[in-house]
């Protein structure tokens, strides 16, 4: 498994998204996925306090007892846990961190991320609280998610001499290329790591959804994120499948390797509901696309 850097953190180029833990997966199934991820060389685990209604962090904490040092552990705060636990006010930042540390059964979080901007709180106040967590040794690095170029610049200015965001986690895939309108370039200019979520467009880039074929039973897109399931995207998927197959690769390999062709991308965060899915994700990241490949892909999967 290749690695890249998020500031001082060295992470596997394929990360494990832990949003299924405590929701789609019970504890035993979670352990099976985590065990397989570690065996396959994945060292970057990304979760959030809201995943599984806080159970994702709890399951990870239990599963990693005795092997915490094998993982670069990232979590997030800021989205609504309940009416009392949400947002990015300084006092809540400190409380949210303590709650996550307890659930994760660890004394530090490697990458602590603001899950979304909080318009009710000055960004400088949030950053001051995060800086305290870094100085206290409870957090190694800080990041953000769902931030625009303007918000990244505001954060850089507001940080002053304190801790700064070292990463941004936004949606990015062959079917959602919006980060190319500015955020990726900003990351390259400022040395920020970019972490794409929904890299497979909620399953559209796995090959499960094809023109003229029924949606698989219990498929996520049948109810979860219908914006991806449309004639335009189905047409793009067919083009991508043909492009990959002609070169001896799968659509899954193309989806991962295309993201990793972007210099700012540090790790592709992919969820998994089974050990087999983990192994497929890891194997998918080894295709090194040429400039000619990328130019051809742009013709049928254009920037949004």
Fold classification of 3-203+252-287 (topology level): TIM Barrel (3.20.20)
C-alpha–C-alpha distance, residues 154 and 31, integer Å: 40
- pLDDT at residue 225 greater than cutoff 70: no
Q: How many CB atoms lie within 10 A of CB 158?
A: 16
- Token couple for 239: 């083009």
| Mean pLDDT to the nearest integer, 266-289 | 96
For CA atoms 181, 182, 184, 188, the dihedral sign is positive
| pLDDT attached to residue 224 | 52
Query: pLDDT confidence of 222, banded at 50, 70, 90?
Result: very low
Using CA atoms, how far residue 73 sits from 85, 207, 262, in Å, is 21, 30, 23
Nearest to 133 by CA among 104, 92, 103, 105: 92
- pLDDT at residue 90 greater than cutoff 50: yes
Using CA atoms, how far residue 108 sits from 36, 64, 171, 178, 259, in Å, is 24, 13, 26, 33, 29
| pLDDT attached to residue 23 | 93
- pLDDT at residue 169 greater than cutoff 70: yes
| pLDDT attached to residue 290 | 97
- pLDDT at residue 214 greater than cutoff 80: no
**Residue 134: its H or E element:** helix 123-135
| Mean pLDDT to the nearest integer, 221-242 | 80
E strands within the chain?
A: 3-6, 9-12, 14-17, 44-46, 72-77, 109-114, 139-145, 165-171, 193-197, 268-271
Residue spans of the domains in the chain: they are: 3-203+252-287
Report the share of the chain in percent with pLDDT over 70.
Answer: 96
| pLDDT attached to residue 208 | 87
| pLDDT attached to residue 226 | 54
E strands within 118-253?
A: 139-145, 165-171, 193-197
Report the share of the chain in percent with pLDDT over 90.
Answer: 89
| pLDDT attached to residue 130 | 98
- Token couple for 92: 């809540």
**Mean pLDDT, the chain, as a whole number?**
94
Residue-wise pLDDT for 106-124, tens only, equals 999 999 999 999 999 999 9
| Mean pLDDT to the nearest integer, 156-160 | 96
Query: pLDDT confidence of 101, banded at 50, 70, 90?
Result: very high
Reported pTM: 0.94
C-alpha–C-alpha distance, residues 119 and 189, integer Å: 26
| Mean pLDDT to the nearest integer, 219-240 | 76
Q: What are the catalytic residues? A: 51
Nearest to 254 by CA among 191, 205, 188, 189: 205
Side-chain-side CA neighbours of 21 within 13 Å: the count stands at 29
Number of helices (H) and strands (E) in the chain: give both, helices first.
10, 10
């Amino acid at each position: 498994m290749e690695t890249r850097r998020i500031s001082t953190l060295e992470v596997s180029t394929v990360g494990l998204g832990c949003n299924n833990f405590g929701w789609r997966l019970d504890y035993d199934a979670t352990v099976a996925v985590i065990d397989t991820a570690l065996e396959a060389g994945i060292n970057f685990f990304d979760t959030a306090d809201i995943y599984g209604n806080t159970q994702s962090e709890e399951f990870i904490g239990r599963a990693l007892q005795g092997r915490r040092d094998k993982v670069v552990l990232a979590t997030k705060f800021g989205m609504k846990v309940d009416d009392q636990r949400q947002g990015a006010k300084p006092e809540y930042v400190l409380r949210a961190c303590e709650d996550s540390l307890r659930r994760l059964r660890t004394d530090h979080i490697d990458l602590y991320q603001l899950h979304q901007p909080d318009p009710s709180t000055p960004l400088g106040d949030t950053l001051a609280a995060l800086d305290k967590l870094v100085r206290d040794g409870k957090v190694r690095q800080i990041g953000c998610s769902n931030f625009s170029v303007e918000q990244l610049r505001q954060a850089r200015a507001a940080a002053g001499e304190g801790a700064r965001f070292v990463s941004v986690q936004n949606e990015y895939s062959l079917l959602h290329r919006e980060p190319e309108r500015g955020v990726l370039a900003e990351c390259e200019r400022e040395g920020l790591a970019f972490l794409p979520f929904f890299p497979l467009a909620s399953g559209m880039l796995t090959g499960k959804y094809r023109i003229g074929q029924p949606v698989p039973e219990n498929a996520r897109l049948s109810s979860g994120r219908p914006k991806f399931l449309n004639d335009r995207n189905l047409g793009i998927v067919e083009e991508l499948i043909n492009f990959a197959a002609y070169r001896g690769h799968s659509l899954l390999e193309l989806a991962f390797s295309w993201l990793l062709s972007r210099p700012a991308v540090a790790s592709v965060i992919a969820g998994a509901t089974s050990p087999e899915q983990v192994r497929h994700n890891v194997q998918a990241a080894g295709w090194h696309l040429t400039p000619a490949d990328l130019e051809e892909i742009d013709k049928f999967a254009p920037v949004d």
